[in-house]
Amino acid sequence: MNTTHISGTRRRLLTGAGAVGAGAALLLALDACAADSGGAAASETASATPEVPDLKGLETAEEIWDALLEGNQRWADGEPVHPGTDTDTREALVEGQAPRAAVFTCVDSRVAPELVFDTGVGDLMVTRTAANTFDPLVSESVSYGPAALEAPLLVVLGHQKCGAVTAAHDALAAADAGEEAEDHGYALPEIVASLTPAYEAARTESGDPVDAMIAANVLLTVQALKEHPNLAELVADGALTVVGAVYSLETGLVTEIAA
């Protein structure tokens, strides 16, 4: 495989990209990271914007996802209200946290979940890697919100025009053609290797190959998280819902995708 480099540069969409399981990861205690003992107090004292549901008061994954999509619509419309960013909310969360959703997304500076979903402090537990690439260490960070803090919703969020996916696609396509990948000055060999299953899964999809690869990567990650040792039982019991989605840089909208 050629090494590649990179330069800095309810809505539902159906896709047929395949899914693969993840290998078992080490289970490590994360008790020192955060305590959820203050979550109830935070929910009671946090001030909500009158026009916007208090995410901390929502219980089911469906309610939470609907609220996130409503917030995303406000963001896309240029009318965010930035709920839960007041001093009272911040102070109420000092003793502990009870995020209602975990979000696993890309490091791209244009894709900040707290802004994209128009949420406040303590609402989301966010993990970010380039192209939301996934390994055992990352998986333990992603699973912490649902497994340790009982967040009932986990969102895997890919995004349009992902530079890491584009670079990986170009490198893998060049390797298929027996050519050298373009050197952009920043090596991403591990990311290219991690994204290879998404490249293979997207081969038979129509339309833009990078868009298909982004969607395939989201779906593969959703499946891997559903099978993760920290999360599999929660998913099986219906205590956790894992959702895959893609964010459009052009419209500002998040669209859910399904296998």
For 203-215, write each residue's pLDDT tens digit. 988 899 999 999 9
169 is in an annotated binding site: no
* pLDDT value, residue 32: 38
Answer yes or no: is 31 a known binding residue: no
How high is the pLDDT of residue 40? 42
Instruction: Please report which residue ranges of 20-162 form alpha helices under DSSP H.
Output: 39-45, 61-76, 87-92, 113-116, 136-149
Indicate the residue type of 180. Answer: E
Task: For 73-129, write each residue's pLDDT tens digit.
Answer: 999 999 999 998 889 999 999 999 999 999 999 999 999 999 999 999 999 999 999
> What counts of helices (H) and strands (E) characterise the chain?
9, 6
Query: Domains, the chain, ranges and CATH?
Result: 15-258 (3.40.1050.10)
- Percentage of residues of the chain with pLDDT beyond 90: 68
In this prediction, residue 181 carries a pLDDT of 72
Confidence of residue 218 (pLDDT cuts 50, 70, 90): very high
Instruction: Show contacts of 58-67: CB within 8 Å, 24+ apart.
Output: 58/100, 59/152, 60/152, 61/152, 61/153, 61/240, 61/241, 61/243, 62/241, 64/100, 64/101, 64/152, 64/153, 65/10, 65/101, 65/153, 65/155, 65/241, 65/243, 66/10
Left (φ > 0), alpha (ψ -120 to 50) or beta: where does 73 sit? alpha
So what's the pLDDT on residue 8? Answer: 36
Q: Give the pLDDT band of residue 178 (cuts 50, 70, 90).
A: confident
Q: Is the pLDDT of residue 159 over 70?
A: yes
Residue 23 has pLDDT above 50, yes or no: no
Q: Which two tokens stand for residue 56?
A: 């901390």
- 108 marked as binding residue: yes
Single pTM value for the model: 0.81
In the chain, % helix, strand, coil (3-state, to 5) comes to 40, 15, 45
